[in-house]
Chains A and B, each alone.
Chain A
């Protein structure tokens, strides 16, 4: 079983709609959760971090965490074509490598 799982996509969403990206993790002891955005050929850019159950909002982005279900999601409201990228979910590891990354979900926003 993969430690951090994401649907690889591609996920296609019309411009202006809400994009919903999901991630599950296997280690119940995980404490820190991150979403990174990666444009093609570029390096990952940190979007949000979340540490407590519930929602955390930052502009058009909302991260949601449910530790009981071992589930973390990212919502992008009013999606723009510039949001088209691969979104990586990362979860803190057991000290061995600090963060474990999912394979990423490729998101395409259609004008």
Chain B
């Protein structure tokens, strides 16, 4: 069974541009979570999508947004990029079934560099 996949692996942008990151959850998983991990820092929760709806967002400005598609894949958009947006962006998914619905499995991440 395939795990969580993310694309692209690396992304280089300049200040003011927009970045789009993509995530496909494990088959059967309906929840997708996005995290930002800046160099040397912990995981910062960005967004949680479930069944196509945004369920919660972390303490990030509105220029961080996303969506979840009917096939449960998700997209994270970062507008008006700033230098401090350079980070590893991680996507995770979880299953709606059973008793371990809060177990999250991570994808390999997208390394975003803003120049």
Listed in ascending order, the chain A residues whose CB lies under 8 Å from chain B are 32, 34, 36, 41-46, 49, 88, 90, 92, 96-104
Whether A43 and B109, one on each chain, are in contact in the complex, defined by CB atoms closer than 8 angstroms, is yes
B: interface residue count bin: 20 to 34
In the bound complex, what is the Cα–Cα distance between A108 and B42 (angstroms)?
Answer: 18
Q: For residue A34, which residues in chain B have a CB less than 8 angstroms away from its CB? A: 103-104
Query: How many A-B residue pairs lie within 8 Å, measured between CB atoms?
Result: 53
Q: For residue A101, which residues in chain B have a CB less than 8 angstroms away from its CB? A: 42-43, 45
Which chain A residue shows the least CB distance to B91? A43
Listed in ascending order, the chain B residues whose CB lies under 8 Å from chain A are 31, 33, 41-43, 45, 48, 56, 58, 88, 90, 94, 100-109
Nearest Cβ in chain B — how far from A107, in angstroms?
Answer: 15
Q: Which of B48, B100, B106 has the most CB of A within 10 A?
A: B106
Q: For residue A41, which residues in chain B have a CB less than 8 angstroms away from its CB? A: 88
Pick the contact of B43: A42, A44, A49, A96 (CB < 8 A): A44
Q: Which of B43, B88, B101, B103 has the most CB of A within 10 A?
A: B43
